[in-house]
Copies of this chain bind each other. A is one copy, B any other.
């Protein structure tokens, strides 16, 4: 039985808390959040107690921590957890600065504790199946990856401001997917970006519509198509072209119902947003973390995956600014 403490009782925190509580070999003992009410309500529903951060690190009964607090607290909490010898599951990103990430990962390495990054999409049953089939050799050698990743609507201005920009906040998941599926590290990034959805996003110095091309040394190519607004829902599709065939992971519809009428045959929209679309993925990633900690094997994706995805995001930002491809 693995005993957890969790930082963060927000949207994503509630998901992790429930998944840990429901896990047959784990329990959530402590919950930390600056929003006391939210923390208390969530703690009660899963049988945990609310406390402050220092009691978590001081408590030898805590085996592992889940870090789901705001981004700017991640690196500090990771380091404190590492120094206290806790296994760490942290939401992406580790930090928005590559230097800080490097320092943080060095601390983790020194402490020798397991660290898993919350790249939840690797655990989506559909994308996981994609990868499994690539690994099985079903489409031969991977040649091109197309990641369609479109949010239903833009976040509020406040979120944009502290997000590190679209590439570090949203595309970072797609960078991870591309890396994970290409089977070779991308070494060149070329990004084009526009403000087509909301001029306010442009005023904040960010973009809302992007196409990013990644290439690898052997000539494999990935393209990511992003927008902050898709009126038909959360569009999350991937296709992988290989020497022996193509794999596609389609959207997950809300239901399999279709309606035939005078206007055509209408199928249901994709799941509205990440909480619904990736519900199974969140459950599977915590299970994978627990299994890795139990087995003493390095959890996957780990800190290096977080660092590499951030490097690709930073290269995309540079490419956008310079108007040309940037080497990673």
Q: Which residues on A are within 8 Å of B, measured CB to CB?
A: 22, 24, 45, 125-126, 129-130, 133, 138-139, 141, 143-144, 146, 148, 150, 188, 190, 192, 194-197, 209-211, 213, 215, 218-221, 223, 225, 227, 229-232, 235, 241, 243-269, 323-325
Contacts and interface: CB of A to CB of B under 8 A. Distances in A.
Nearest to A242: B231
A101 to B, nearest CB: 28
Contact of A256 (B45, B209, B215, B251): B251
B220 A194 contact: yes
Nearest to A190: B190
A245 B257 contact: no
A126 B244 contact: no
Nearest to A221: B211
B129 A243 contact: no
Contact of A211 (B223, B253, B256, B265): B223
A256 B264 contact: no
B232 A265 contact: yes
A83 B200 CA distance: 56
A264 B245 CA distance: 10
14 contacts: A24-B45, A130-B257, A146-B225, A192-B221, A196-B218, A231-B260, A232-B261, A232-B264, A232-B265, A245-B262, A249-B257, A262-B269, A263-B269, A324-B324
A249 B255 contact: yes
Nearest to A232: B260
Given A144-B227, A211-B221, A261 B245 contact: yes
